[in-house]
Amino acid sequence: MLWAPLCGRLGNAPKAAAAIESADVVFFSGGDVAAGMQILEQRGMIPFLRAVSRSGTPFIGVSAGSIMLCREWIRWRDARDDESGELFPCLGIARLSCDTHGEGDGWGELKSMLALRPVGATGYGITSGSAIIVEPDGTISASGGEVHVFRRRKGGIAQVQSLLPGTEGGRKWNIGDWEARD
């Protein structure tokens, strides 16, 4: 296992890039999505990481790391103002939007993010202890537990499905199946 820090006193983008380039798999840990994306941007790592993914190297994320691998996330310009939410881009390696372990607050951040997307947009709520697997061909499956599927509709955000490990004979779902417009 290679450690490739990008921030702090040990952070070194060229060394991290060399380690990542030779890795069999790339792991993103949790933390703060916006801060993590800012570090990747400041270090010029975003195009490089996307290229590594396109070359076939698997990426794994936990908590905020999972969200960073996705298309986008939400931040608030003013933490006291719910109306100040705005989307910002993430790596886009997984062409979907998700939140992790948000079941305790009813998936508030995921729903806020979806409210800023067009009608028909889909988001995945990865419950604690669960994972979503996104294959290179765009199929997805749940592992470890339930993954909630939410969709923005004209009347608001609704949970439309749950993906369960091993359901329907292990059938995988195509991301495009969930992106239908109302």
Encoded tokens for 66: 């999972």
Encoded tokens for 7: 């921030």
Q: Could you tell me the CATH number of the domain that includes residue 55?
A: 3.40.50.880
Strand partners, 140: 134, 173
Predicted model pTM: 0.89
Range of the domain at 147: 23-178
Domain annotation covers residue 78? yes
Domain annotation covers residue 12? no
Give the span between the Cα atoms of 147 and 131, in whole angstroms: 7
pLDDT in tens, 113-151: 999 999 999 999 999 999 999 988 888 999 999 999 999
Q: How many domains does the chain have?
A: 1
Domain annotation covers residue 101? yes
Q: What is the reported pLDDT for 42?
A: 94
pLDDT in tens, 45-101: 999 999 999 999 999 999 999 999 999 999 999 989 989 999 999 999 999 999 999
Domain annotation covers residue 14? no
